[in-house]
Amino acid sequence: MPRFALKIDYDGGPFQGWQRQAAGQPSVQAAVEAALARLEPRAHTIAAAGRTDAGVHATGQVATVDLERDWDTFRLGEALNYHLRPQPVAILGVSRVADDFHARFSAIQRRYLFRLVVRRAPVTHDRGRVWQVLNPLDLAAMRAGAAHLVGHHDFTTFRSSICQAKSPVKSLDSIEISEHPYAGGTEVRFALRARSFLHNQVRSIVGTLERVGAGAWAPERVAEALEARDRAACGPVCPPQGLYLTGVGYPTDPFA
C-alpha cells in the first residue's frame, strides 16, 4: 500500500486535541480520517508527529497514512481539503514517502511557537489564538531564565503528572524569545526547538518564564526549579490557545 505524508494546518480551538476521542468528541485526527474515508471508503488510522492537546494549534503538523490507491499528490491534497470543509483544518502538502517513513518515529526535531500578547484592551482578532496578559514583561529577565533550561536535563519539574514518556530526560536545543509590534500592545513569541517534548513541557516553561518576566520570579529560580525535579516547583502552566506546532524535522524533508 502506498504511504503518504501529509502536512497539516489547523485551528485547535474547536477540537479536543489531535488524538481521536470518544464518540461525539471532535478531534483533528478524526476529521482527517473522515475525509480520507470519503476518498477510500473504509476505516483509516493516521499517525502524527505530535499529539497536540485541546486548544493547541498547528501550522506544520505531519501525519502518515497508507492508502490503497497510488494517488497523485496534488489531487489527494485538493480532495482532502474539499472534504475537510468547513472545519478549520487544511492540508498544506502531500508527499509520497517510503514504506519505512513514519511521521512520529522518523522525526528528529519538533518546533513549537507560543504567542503571548501584552495589552490592557481585550484581544479581538486573535481571541483563542494567543495568551493575553495585562502588564509589561522583562524580556531580558525571561531570556536569562530560559538559558538555564537549554541543554540536556531532567525536566520532571516541567512535565505533566500524566505524561506517558518513559524518561523525563530531554535535550532542549533552543528557546528564542522575541518581541513584536501588536495593536495596542506588544506580542512576545517563544520559539522552542527539540527532538521531542514531554507532555505540557512547553506550556510549563512559558508559564514559568512569564512569572520571571512579570518580576514574580528571579531568573535564577528557574534553575532551582529545574534542579528540584519536582512538579510542585514549576510555575503556573499557561493556557493552550497560544501554542502552535510549527514544524517537524526529518533527515530528508519529505515536502522539499
Active site residues: 53
- Among 147, 12, 35, which residue's Cα sits nearest to residue 94? 35
| CA atoms of 58 and 244, how far apart (whole Å) | 5
Specify the DSSP class assigned to residue 195.
Answer: S
| CA atoms of 67 and 160, how far apart (whole Å) | 35
- What are 111's strand-pairing partners? 193, 247
| CA atoms of 117 and 186, how far apart (whole Å) | 6
Backbone angles phi and psi of 250, in degrees to 5: -130, 160
